Amino acid sequence: MADTNAETTYQKVFKKAYDFTIADEIKELGLYPYFKPLQATDGTTVKIEGRDVIMAGSNNYLGLTNDPRTIKAAQDVITTYGTGCTGSRYLNGTLDLHLELEEKLAVFMKKESCVLFSTGYQTNEGSIQTIADRNDIIFSDRENHACIVVGTQVSNAKTVRFRHNDMEHLRTLLAKAEPGAGKIIVSDGVFSMSGTLAKVPELVALAKEYGAGLYLDDAHAVGVIGDGGRGSASVFGLMDDVDLISGTFSKSFASLGGFLVGDRTVIEYIRHKSPAHIFSASMPPANVATVLKSLEILQSEPWRLERLEEISNYMRANLRDLGFNVWSSQTPIIPVVVGEMMKCFQFWKDLFEEGVYVNAVVPPAVPQGQALVRTSYMATHTNEHLDKILDAFRTVGIKHGIIDKNGKSLIDLEV
C-alpha cells in the first residue's frame, strides 16, 4: 500500500540535512577552512585561490608526493598495466605488483605476512570487524581514529572503550571482562590530533597479562618514527609483541591504500573473510608502484627521518617558546590550541592571509573550548619555511590575544 504521507516522510528523512546550516553560516563570514581546492603543489608550497602559501598541514611526512622518482614510477607502470584493475583482489584485481608490495612490506615490518586494502580507512574498518566476532570483546582507546570506531561498530563483538591512554582504566575493564571471551586491544600508535604516542609497553604488558591480542593503527607512525620508520612499536623495541599493525599509503608513502601485517595464519583469514578486502576494487597499479618506490627511498635515504625529527623538535620548542599550548606532541603532528570555535576559524583565516596553510579542528573532534589548528611537517620543509611559519604564528597569536609579545600564553586551558 502506498504511503499516504509520502511527502511528510520524505521531509522527515531529509530534515536533518536542511537543518544543517552552520557550514553556510561560516562561509558567509569568509571563515570556512574546509575543502579548499589546491590549484598546484610542489609539496611544501601550494597554490590556493591564486596565492602561493606554505603547506603546514599535510601528512606528506617524507615529502615524496612530488619526488621525480615516485612520479616516474607511477607513470612507468601505466603503459604495462593500464590505469586500474577493474576488480577486487579476490577475483581479477590481483597484480604481481600487489604481491611484490605485500612481500616487501612484510619483510620491512618484520612480520610473517601482509595484506593490502584500497584505503587506510578500509584497512582498519575491514580488519577489526573480521577478526573480532560475537564471542569477542574489543577494548578501544576513546581517541582512536574514526575508521577504528566504525570497525568496532560494524563488528559483532562487544566493544568497551577505555579512557585515552589510561592504562589503569584499561586494566579495570580487562579484569571485569568475561574470562572465556576472546579479547583484543585496539589503539592508534600515534594519535592524529595530539601527535602523541600510545603507551605501547603498557599495552603489550596488559595484553600478555590478560591473554588479549594487540592491534596498533600506525597510519601516522610507519614512515615517520621508530627504527627505520617502522612505527610506534619499534620506538620501544616491541615489534614482536604486537599482533597486528596497520598502516596507510596516503601519508609517508605518497599514494593511496593501506596494509595490515601480522602472523601468516591471521592475515590469510582476513584476506579471505574481510568484506572490505574482497568486495572492493584493488589498488590501481600506479598507486602500488608509487608505494614500492617510496618504500625503497625510505630505506635508502635515512636522512629524511632524521630531518623530520629535527624539524619536529624545532617547531615544537619554538611554538612553546612563543607561548602556544601544543599539548604533549611527540611527533611531526603539532597542535596549537586556540580556544573557541569561531576564534579558531578567524585564527586559521589570518594564518592563511600570512601565507601559511594549516588545518582547523573544532568540536566534536576536540573538547569544547579547545579548538585548535593542527600543524604537521615534512622532511622537505626548509629552515626558511619553518621560520616563516613561526613568524606568522607569532603575528596572528598576538593579534588574537592567545600569546603576548613576551612569549606568555594568555589563555588558560586544562590539557
Alpha helices in 111-239 (DSSP H): 120-131, 146-154, 167-176, 200-210, 232-235
- Position 414 scores a pLDDT of 44
Residues 240-287 pLDDT 10s? 999 999 999 999 999 999 999 999 999 999 999 999 999 999 999 999
d(C-alpha 153, C-alpha 131), whole Å? 13
Q: How far is CA 351 from CA 317, 327, 370, in A?
A: 19, 20, 18
CA 97 to chain CA centroid, Å, is: 25
- Within the chain, how many helices (H) and strands (E) appear? 15, 14
Give the per-residue pLDDT at 411.
83
Q: pLDDT tens digits, residue range 198-251? A: 999 999 999 999 999 999 999 999 999 999 999 999 999 999 999 999 999 999
- Alpha carbon separation from 304 to 15, 60, 315, 379, 389 (Å, rounded): 50, 12, 16, 5, 20
Q: What percent of the chain has pLDDT over 70?
A: 97
Using the predicted structure, report yes or no on whether residue 1 has a pLDDT greater than 60.
Answer: no
CA distance 414 to 275: 42
Indicate the domain borders of the chain.
18-55+303-399, 68-300
Catalogue the active-site residues: 192, 220, 251
User: Taking residues 174-187, what's their average pLDDT?
Assistant: 97
- Average pLDDT score over residue span 154-166: 97
For the cut 50, the answer to whether the pLDDT of residue 372 exceeds it is: yes
Mean pLDDT over 180-201 rounds to 97
**Residue 67 pLDDT level (bands cut at 50, 70, 90):** very high
CATH of 68-300, one of 3.40.50.720, 2.40.50.100, 3.40.640.10, 3.40.50.740: 3.40.640.10
Pairing of strands 356-357, 158-162: unpaired
How high does pLDDT run on average in the chain? 96
- Strand 158-162 versus strand 136-141 pairing type: parallel
Specify the pLDDT at position 6.
Answer: 65
Please state which CATH number belongs to domain 18-55+303-399.
3.90.1150.10
The model's pTM: 0.95
| Alpha carbon distance 364, 313 (integer Å) | 28
Is the preceding omega at residue 179 within 30 degrees of 0, hence cis? no
pLDDT at 16 over 60: yes
> What are phi and psi for residue 78, nearest 5 degrees?
-65, -35
